[in-house]
Structure 1
Amino acid sequence: MPLVVVGISVLILLLLMTRLKLNGFAALLLVAVGVAVVQGIPVAEIPDVLSEGIGGQIGDTMLVIGLGAMVGRIMGDSGAAQRIAGKMLDAFGQRGVQVAMVATSMLIGVTMFYEVAFIIIVPIAFTLVRVTRANLLWVGLPMSIALSTMHSFLPPHPGPTAVAATFHASVGLTLFYGLFIAVPIGAFIALLWPRLPFVRAMSPSVPKGLVSEREFTDEEMPGLGWSLLVALFPVVLIAGAAVVDMADSDETPLLHTIAFLGSAPVALLLTLCLAVWAFGPRIGRSLADVSASCTSAAQAMAMILLVIGAGGAFKNVLVEGGISDYIKDVTGGWSVSPIILAWLIAVILRIALGSATVAVVTASGVVLPLVAGGGVSPEIMVLAVSCGSIAFSHVNDPGFWLFKEYFNLSVTQAIKVRTSYTTVLSVLGLGGVLIMEQIVDGIGL
């Protein structure tokens, strides 16, 4: 039974990494090969399946993570990250750091992918940890939870947008409904989770090489204006392109140009160029010093990228092994509320496959006849599927490894923190969707 294979593979992976202390990259590849063999993928094709999984995952994330890490390190080594962190402390106070992180993450995360927004904001979180001497999870976890909520629940992120297209739902109306669910639920979990005893018992350190250890004087730091300009520059480009795309679907050269400039790799590349000048020659730092910052960031990212790529290989083996097709066949005849069925299928696919985007796209195909049959708003159904896709993030989810590596956690710790918060977000999201359905039906929308 395919789901049994998934369960056993996850247990073996945990054993390899926790008991035998095998490197995550090697462990993921070994388990992926084993699953491929058990699922009947021809031996001659397994290397290609692994390569496609690694290539697809790294292709999506390497440019974003690599460029983002370089921008973050340049900001840290110049004092710009400390300048922003200091102003956040002045505005919110040390007690309000979490609120500041949640508000910032939600504003940025509405239009930006989880990984992109994470890479942009995390240097500020690291600097706040160093300045305040607070626990890394106390500052960083609210950021991650808020970004996870925005990315999984709302368009224009890829999963919800793809489902909206399948269901012929209004992207704007889906976003409008979704904000009433995502903002309160995301903020509640983001502020609650760092206070839970099992989270407070963890005290991870900031990973080496991703943040400057130096504390700058006020005179040494660049001005707040330049610091914010560089930090927000990719946000403006990416968010602006997303808004224009939602507002105007006509194919014109101007829109193509805006889409190009607003793509995450291009926006971050332009930001890197701006950061190199603004925090290099403009303030008297040599290009050699700035280049050293970029090199240091790239070295620190090497293992993180390898592990994320191996996670992509594991995910691709599960997809190519026919597990998603099996789940579609099993759940196709279930007689359940359309909203709950849509959510549940997305949850099962997410657990089995790891990829939230694959989960929502596959689930949307299964429940499309229910939407076509009427009775439930297509926008509500989009949110139901999207909420299901965030549940149970674990070792077959490349985003799990990004979270684990940046917050310097063991596999067991990452499961306790990330798997638990994503699951609770999903369940509360389903409750919010059911309530929203009653409201929409009640007012006749």
Structure 2
Amino acid sequence: MPLLIVVIGIILLLILITGFKLNTFVSLIIVSFIVSLALGMPLGNVVTSIEGGLGGTLGHIALIFGLGAMLGRLIADAGGAQRIAMTLINKFGEKRIQWAVVVASFIVGIALFFEVGLVLLIPIVFSIAKELRVSILHLGIPMAAALLATHSFLPPHPGPTVIAGEYGADIGLVLLYGIIVAIPTVILAGPLYTKLAKKIVPHAFNKTGNIASLGEQKTFQFEETPGFGISVLTAMFPVLLMAISTMLDMVQKSVRFEDNLLIEIVRLIGNPSSAMLISLFLAFYTMGIARNIPIKEVMDSCTSSIASIGMMLLIIGGGGAFKQVLIDGGVGDYVAELFKGTSMSPIILAWLVAAILRISLGSATVAAISTAGLVIPMLAQYDANLALVTLATGAGSSICSHVNDAGFWMIKEYFGLSMKETFSTWTILSTITSVAGLVFILLLDASLIISGAVIILISIVAIYLSMFERSKDKRNALGI
């Protein structure tokens, strides 16, 4: 019965969003109320559960999400993103133009959310394609692959950030492992898949596209933009801070030295919220003050970035409310009981649940958060790597983007594709990202287990040799 109620709730959510065209946030709250009542929750606990889920989710990610949006907008409005893209394209040259687009999109994609990165980079891709006389899809597919991978695997994007918080995973490890998984995934879903897509839908590569709906884009003369190095540093600074803190923690665990003031300071700086705040202050200087941009203009960019993500924050909160209802209503415990004693990896289960919800709901973020409500109770049965479970959930939530996903329609309209061509390019691309991501996560999990076993074995041998040497010295001292 609990799973049947969840299925009915998801179907109702689809009807409200696609049939009645209700706002996604409103639909999530309505369904959360209905599902909580259907699950037999005490009436006095219904509102408390919904409010707790909404507040708990936003309380964890609102700061990171908000500061990340400001950082990305400052880099975009100052021309830093354009400088990164154009410099890499000039450096790589015409023959390796796809790889230039991949690297530029990956760097920009870390700082900018998917939709913002898409809107920012598409005009650049169009102008480069026109100048080099290549198909816009030849460059568009690698760009979309890089943006989708960063959106699915890397904090401070909403999906991995929220999921890491729900699972209690170390967000620094999620970032570190996410980069390791994202790089080969982008190569497969981007440049390599482009070659296959040209054979599947060759006519799509003759389309000229249409970006008139984007309106007049803010463009810069190359010399007006901030330097390449400072633009990359500003975009990557939160990643560097979090990575340093994470690597320090990993070294401390292996060497086992005690905490001290320096380590505590590094941890504070490397905390995602602190890292985003410090990076934002850096951007105030590099993208504003250092370029003689009035502080009022800098603050206007920050304000406009928050206005644009307000509804997204509410939708994330609504997903958190639905997730909490599933947990408090006992659905998660029911799923845990079903899989009790199973040999299925929690990584595969998290990916599978997220994939089913993604195909049903359309929103990758909502699918990921809802997955947490079903998977969290089950994780207590396993000694799972929570960072990898987080990435698996992100991978599952990126699968098979189709007509119920806003990204599907953005790609279709901007590149001027037919429905068949959009399915054959974007939908397959998102599925490759999901499946390849899962494969690389499983390989990473296996390699971590093997490396851990090797480290333990080396430690045992080292201890044994040390004891043997001491025993030998003692025997020599006694003249034995």
Normalising by structure 2, report the TM-score: 0.67
Q: Secondary structure at the match of 1:285?
A: coil
Alignment pair present for 1:298 and 2:306: yes
The residue that corresponds to 1:241 in the other structure is 245
Alignment pair present for 1:286 and 2:294: yes
Distance of 1:98 and 1:122 partners within structure 2: 20
What is the aligned counterpart of 1:145 among 149, 172, 179? 149
The residue that corresponds to 2:43 in the other structure is 43
Q: Secondary structure at the match of 1:219?
A: helix
- Displacement of 1:193: 6.5
| Inter-CA distance 180–3: structure 2 relative to 1 (3 Å threshold) | same
What is the aligned counterpart of 1:229 among 228, 233, 238? 233
1:81-160 equivalence runs, <5 A:
81-93=81-93, 99-100=99-100, 117=110, 119=112, 126-133=119-126, 134=136, 139-145=143-149, 148=152, 158=164
The residue that corresponds to 1:167 in the other structure is none
Aligned amino acid, residue 263 of structure 2: L
The residue that corresponds to 1:251 in the other structure is 259
Distance of 1:11 and 1:419 partners within structure 2: 23
Distance of 1:272 and 1:387 partners within structure 2: 26
Distance of 2:237 and 2:61 partners within structure 1: 19
| Inter-CA distance 439–61: structure 2 relative to 1 (3 Å threshold) | closer
The residue that corresponds to 2:468 in the other structure is none
Check the 8 A contact 1:364/1:385 in 2, yes or no.
no
Distance of 1:10 and 1:214 partners within structure 2: 40
What is the aligned counterpart of 2:336 among 319, 328, 332? 328
Aligned amino acid, residue 20 of structure 2: L
The residue that corresponds to 1:315 in the other structure is 323
What is the aligned counterpart of 1:215 among 214, 219, 229? 219
Check the 8 A contact 2:335/2:378 in 1, yes or no.
no
Question: Any gaps of 5 or more consecutive residues in structure 2?
Answer: 127-135, 358-366, 413-418, 458-480
Give a deviation string over 1:13-71, Cα, whole Å, max 9, x none.
11111121111110111111111111112222222211111112212222122111112
Deviates more, 1:72-81 or 1:96-105: 96-105
Give a deviation string over 1:119-158, Cα, whole Å, max 9, x none.
4787665433221225776523333225635789x9xx94
| Inter-CA distance 327–20: structure 2 relative to 1 (3 Å threshold) | same
Distance of 1:63 and 1:204 partners within structure 2: 36
Give a deviation string over 1:170-208, Cα, whole Å, max 9, x none.
x99xx99x998775456323556677679x799897997
Give a deviation string over 1:262-290, Cα, whole Å, max 9, x none.
11221111121121222223222111111
Deviates more, 1:44-53 or 1:139-148: 139-148
- Displacement of 1:407: 8.8
Distance of 1:103 and 1:358 partners within structure 2: 35
Q: Secondary structure at the match of 1:66?
A: helix
- Displacement of 1:321: 1.3
Alignment pair present for 1:424 and 2:439: no
The residue that corresponds to 2:381 in the other structure is 366
Give a deviation string over 1:353-394, Cα, whole Å, max 9, x none.
8446666654443345xxxxxxxxx88xx8986675446428
Q: Secondary structure at the match of 1:366?
A: coil
Distance of 1:36 and 1:252 partners within structure 2: 47
Which structure: larger Rg?
2
Aligned amino acid, residue 17 of structure 1: I
Alignment pair present for 1:264 and 2:272: yes
Deviates more, 1:63-72 or 1:94-103: 94-103
| Inter-CA distance 62–146: structure 2 relative to 1 (3 Å threshold) | closer
CA RMSD of the aligned region, Å? Answer: 4.8
Distance of 2:248 and 2:3 partners within structure 1: 42
The residue that corresponds to 2:129 in the other structure is none
Distance of 1:267 and 1:329 partners within structure 2: 39
Deviates more, 1:127-136 or 1:93-102: 93-102
Check the 8 A contact 2:123/2:211 in 1, yes or no.
no
| Inter-CA distance 418–158: structure 2 relative to 1 (3 Å threshold) | farther
| Inter-CA distance 432–227: structure 2 relative to 1 (3 Å threshold) | closer
Aligned amino acid, residue 34 of structure 1: I
The residue that corresponds to 1:113 in the other structure is none
The residue that corresponds to 2:465 in the other structure is none
Give a deviation string over 1:322-368, Cα, whole Å, max 9, x none.
1111011112144xxx3x45455444654578446666654443345
- Displacement of 1:243: 0.9
Deviates more, 1:292-301 or 1:57-66: 57-66
Question: Any gaps of 5 or more consecutive residues in structure 1?
Answer: 110-115, 165-170, 369-377
Normalising by structure 1, report the TM-score: 0.71
| Inter-CA distance 332–105: structure 2 relative to 1 (3 Å threshold) | farther
Distance of 1:124 and 1:238 partners within structure 2: 22
The residue that corresponds to 2:7 in the other structure is 7
Check the 8 A contact 1:84/1:227 in 2, yes or no.
yes
Aligned amino acid, residue 131 of structure 1: I
Q: Secondary structure at the match of 1:72?
A: helix
Alignment pair present for 1:24 and 2:24: yes
Distance of 1:21 and 1:161 partners within structure 2: 32
Check the 8 A contact 2:395/2:433 in 1, yes or no.
yes
- Displacement of 1:159: 8.6
Deviates more, 1:342-351 or 1:21-30: 342-351
What is the aligned counterpart of 2:282 among 259, 274, 281? 274
Distance of 2:166 and 2:322 partners within structure 1: 23
| Inter-CA distance 28–147: structure 2 relative to 1 (3 Å threshold) | closer
The residue that corresponds to 2:71 in the other structure is 71
